Structure formats: C-alpha cells, structure tokens
Amino acid sequence: MSRNVLIQNKNSINLFDVKEEVNIILCPTLYSVRFFDIPIESNSELKLVIPNFFEDFFDIEGYSFYHIKLEKYKYMCFAYKQDEILEILDKINLELKYIKKIYFLQNEINFENNIIYNYKEIKYICSDNIIVPMPKNININSNCTEINTEEFSLSKYNIFLNKSSKYIDNTTAYILSFIFIMFSLFNFYKINANGTEVSIYEQKINSLKQKYNVPSSMIQTKSIINEYKDIENSYIEFLNAFEYILKYRESSNTLLKSIEYKNNRIILNMNNKNKVNIERHIQKKYKILNSRAFNDNLLIEIKI
Amino acid sequence: MNKFDINPLFLLMSTIVILMISIISLNKSSVNKNKNIININKNIEIINKYNSLKNTWINAKKQESLVNNIIKQQKIRNANILINKDKIKVIINSNPKVLHRVINKLLNKKINIIKLKLSKNQLVFEVGLL
C-alpha cells in the first residue's frame, strides 16, 4: 500500500527522500472549491464553463479545474494551480514518477461541520460542507481533531499534473502522438510497399533475361545490341545501294554484266557505254574506290 | 503518474521526430522507386530490343528457313546449299529471269547477306550466322 502525503503549503513541508510511490493529498491551501448549479451534463462543455464560474471569485489566470458531479446539474468544482503544486513537489524533492495519484483533502475525509481539524499546526474547519484553512491568528480554545493521513480511504477522484507544457494538455498530447504514430506507420508501410514494388519489377526483369537468354550485365547487352544494329544498318545500306544501282540500270538501259557485294563494297561490271554518266550518277551518293575500263567492260568498286 | 508513465510532451516530441523521419524516408523511397522503375522500364525496352534483333538477325534456324523458303518458292531444283557453322552459302545457276526473281525475294527479307555475286546465269550469296 502506498504512503499518503498531505501537502499544505511551501513552508510546511519537509524534504522528501524516499524513493517509493506515494499518494499526494492536497490541502485547501492549494486549491479552491465551490458548489455550482450548472444546467449542463456534457463533460467537455462543463470544462469550458466552470472557469467562468470561478471568475467571480478570483483571477483564474494559471488555474486548472476539476469537477465532481453530485447530482443532476449540481457539481463540486475545484480550481488549483498546477505550477504551484509542481513547485512544491520540486521543493520536497519528489519526482512525478513516484506519485501514484493526487487527491483533494475535501474528498478524502469525512468532515463534520464546525469541527476544527489540525495537521502540523495548520487548522482546518468545515463550513457549509467545504473545508477551509483557518487564519493563524485566531485562538482556538476547543479541542482539535488531528488528521491522520494513514487513515484515509482514498476516493476515486484524483487529478493528473501536466508538467509537460502550459500550451498543450496531456489528452491532446496523447491524441496527437497517436495520430502521428498512425501517420508514421502508414508511411513506413508505404516505404515497404515501394521496396516490394521495385523488387517485383526486378523479378520481372530477371525472368525476361532468363527467357530471352540475355547477358546478366546490361552494358554487355547494349554492346551486343549495337553489334546487331550494325548488321541491320549494313543490310539497309546494302539494300539502298542495290536499289540505286538497279534503278539507274533500268533508266539508262545499261547492261549490268555482274554485281558483287562483300565487305561493304559493291563491285559492278557494266557495259562501258557511258562511263562518265555512270560514274557521275554513282558519285552523287557513294564513293567510288576504283574504276577501270577495258574492252567494253567497266569495273567500278563502290564503298557503301 | 506512476513510474511507467511517459511524459506526454516527450512522447509527442518523439512521435513528431518519428513522423519526420518517416516522411523523409518515404520521400526518398518514392524518389528511388520512381528512378528504379524508369531504369527498369528502360532495361525491359533494351531486353525486348535485344530479343527482337537477335530473332531477326542471329537466329540461324530462321535465316536458314528464310533462304530455303525463297528457293522452294521459286522452284529452283539445282540450287547448291552449303551450310557451315557460321554461314550458309547458296549457289544458283539459272536463267536471268529466275535469278532476278530470287534477288527480289532475297532483298525483301531480313537476311544477313555477307556476300553476294550476281552474274548473267549465276547467283552466289552467303548468309552470316553469328
């Protein structure tokens, strides 16, 4: 069972050196409590409205609020300063991680009206069902009931301190964290999906390579393609040259005795009828490497 | 508020860092994926081209069948066909009309002719087989 520690104010505390879980009970010096009739049931709306009710009593700047529903439209509302509590916890050297829960004294002891209670020389009195600290300068003749923290049977009403930020509360931080984690998970899923997509493409490439017996290196494949293209180009060049020569033969009615093709060269054996015209025609498109005429033969070697 | 609680602000900042890392990683991964896919598509194009060129010019059986088809179509009986490992040599002795038809057919097919000699009554050509 965790120890209960009653916190009253900055001056009435001892340094805390135990490293165990404790329940903190806040004394009325650290909070303000009021009963309000509010015709609202929604918790979120109540959270918005309650500060306005306290505004009639004090400046609510820096206060946090907590409410307990007593009956329909009747609430017990608490206002407390987180910073003040945190400052005290810091002073007594009590880390937040050792705090199990934080309670209000109001809810943790069955007070009777007009009876004075004492805890470490601070007196409290219950007036109109609200426990309030008594001023120090009042002399009390009657007997006081000592508050024993170990006798508390703690209620379900407790608060959480948000040490993190003044601008964002714990719930919002948790919700945002959850959303961000969800986004991150989605992003990591997409990263994984991208990797899978690429590996599917790579598998497709590999199966194509195997199917068509393509060399493993793309550089080698490209060089072979260039080799094949050279074959194709020389085929096209050969066709063009052949067509060019045959067309001339038809148009000029020159007798083509033989035609020979090898090593990208064409050797023509033509009737030596009109050497100049033949050569002129060929030179329009191709380079003549050699041209010889003997008897009625004209031998022309062309580079294509 | 017990020792297992995590400071919500710390949690929030951590998730923001994780989110940033995931966004940057996703961005990098998407850029890489696009680059890879472009590259892969280029490679697929190269492979298809390789296959098409290989089938057209290097497929020995195809080249041989093309030559045989031309000879059969022209009903040439005295064609001399010599098939080596790296080439097919064909010698056809016939009249100029037939040879002219053979030449026409030969030039209209994608045949890797490495040598050709056409004279009045004879056509000799060699088809390269890589």
> For A149-188, how does the pLDDT look when each residue is reduced to its tens digit (9 = 90+)?
777 788 888 887 766 666 777 788 889 999 999 999 999 9
Q: Are residues B54 and B65 in the same domain?
A: no
Are A98 and A115 in contact by the 8 Å Cβ rule? The answer is: no
Residue A15 binned pLDDT confidence (cut-offs 50, 70, 90): low
What distance in Å separates the CA atoms of residue A212 and residue B115, rounded to the nearest whole number? Answer: 29
Q: Residue A102: its chain B contacts at CB < 8 A?
A: 1
Q: Are residues B68 and B91 in the same domain?
A: yes
What distance in Å separates the CA atoms of residue B67 and residue B74, rounded to the nearest whole number? Answer: 11
Rounded to two decimals, the ipTM of the complex is 0.73
Q: Are residues B35 and B95 in the same domain?
A: no
Structural domain total, chain B: 2
pLDDT in tens, A206-216: 898 888 888 88
Closest CA to A154 of A222, A196, A106: A106
Q: What is the pLDDT of residue A3?
A: 79
Q: What is the pLDDT of residue A187?
A: 95
Give residue B27's domain range: 1-58
Q: Are residues B40 and B92 in the same domain?
A: no
Residue of B nearest to A169 (CA): B8
Q: Are residues B1 and B51 in the same domain?
A: yes
* The CATH number of domain A3-162, selected from 3.30.420, 3.30.70, 3.40.1350, 1.10.150: 3.30.420
Are residues A187 and B114, on separate chains, in Cβ contact within 8 Å?
no
The burial class, CB within 10 Å (0-12 / 13-18 / 19+), for A59 is exposed
| A-to-B residue pairs, Cβ atoms closer than 8 angstroms | 161
CA angle A222, A227, A232 (to 5 degrees): 115
* Lowest model confidence (mean pLDDT) among A101-110, A115-124, A138-147: A138-147
pLDDT at A19 over 80: no
> For residue A196, is it left (φ>0), alpha (ψ between -120 and 50) or beta?
alpha
Query: Chain A contact for B6, CB < 8 A?
Result: no
Domain holding B66: CATH number?
A: 3.90.1070
Q: What is the pLDDT of residue A191?
A: 95
Q: Are residues B96 and B114 in the same domain?
A: yes
Q: Residue A162: its chain B contacts at CB < 8 A?
A: 8
Q: Which of A170, A209, A269 sits opposite B47 (nearest CB)?
A: A209
Q: Which of B43, B48, B107 sits opposite A242 (nearest CB)?
A: B107
Mean pLDDT, chain A, as a whole number? 84
Distance from CA of A241 to the nearest CA of B (A): 11
CATH code, A220-303: 3.30.1360
What distance in Å separates the CA atoms of residue B40 and residue B33, rounded to the nearest whole number? Answer: 10
Q: Are residues B80 and B92 in the same domain?
A: yes
Are residues B1 and A221, on separate chains, in Cβ contact within 8 Å?
no
Q: Are residues B87 and B111 in the same domain?
A: yes
Q: Are residues B41 and B74 in the same domain?
A: no
Q: Are residues B64 and B123 in the same domain?
A: yes
Q: Are residues B81 and B112 in the same domain?
A: yes
Are residues A261 and B115, on separate chains, in Cβ contact within 8 Å?
yes
